[in-house]
Amino acid sequence: MKALKSLVLAACYLLVVAGTASAEENRLASPAPGRTAISTTPNQGVREAATRAVRLIDRASASFLTTRPCFACHSQTISAMVLSDARKVGIEIDETNFKRQYERAFEALGATRVDTIGYALWALDIGRHAPDDKTEAMVEYVLNFQKDLGTWKPTVDRPPSEVSSFTTSYVALRGLNRYGSAKQREAIAKRATAVAQWLESANAADTEDQVFRLRLARELKLPSDKVDRFVQKLLSEQDAAGGWVQKRGMKPDAYTTGSVLVALREAGGLSDQHSAWLRGLGYLLQTQKPDGSWHVESRAKPIQEYFEGGFPHGKDQFISAFATSWAAQALLMSLAQERR
Contact 252, 238 (CB under 8 A): no
Distance from C-alpha of 216 to C-alpha of 196, rounded to nearest angstrom: 8
207-246, pLDDT tens digit by residue?
999 999 999 999 999 999 999 999 999 999 999 999 999 9
- The C-alpha angle with vertex 245 and arms to 243 and 249, in degrees rounded to 5, equals 130
Distance from C-alpha of 163 to C-alpha of 4, rounded to nearest angstrom: 36
Q: Can you give the pLDDT at residue 333?
A: 97
pLDDT-derived band at 340 (thresholds 50, 70, 90) equals low
Work out whether the CA dihedral 248, 263, 52, 63 comes out positive or negative. Answer: positive
Stated length of the chain: 340
Q: Is the pLDDT of residue 115 over 50?
A: yes
Contact 16, 275 (CB under 8 A): yes
Q: Can you give the pLDDT at residue 73?
A: 57
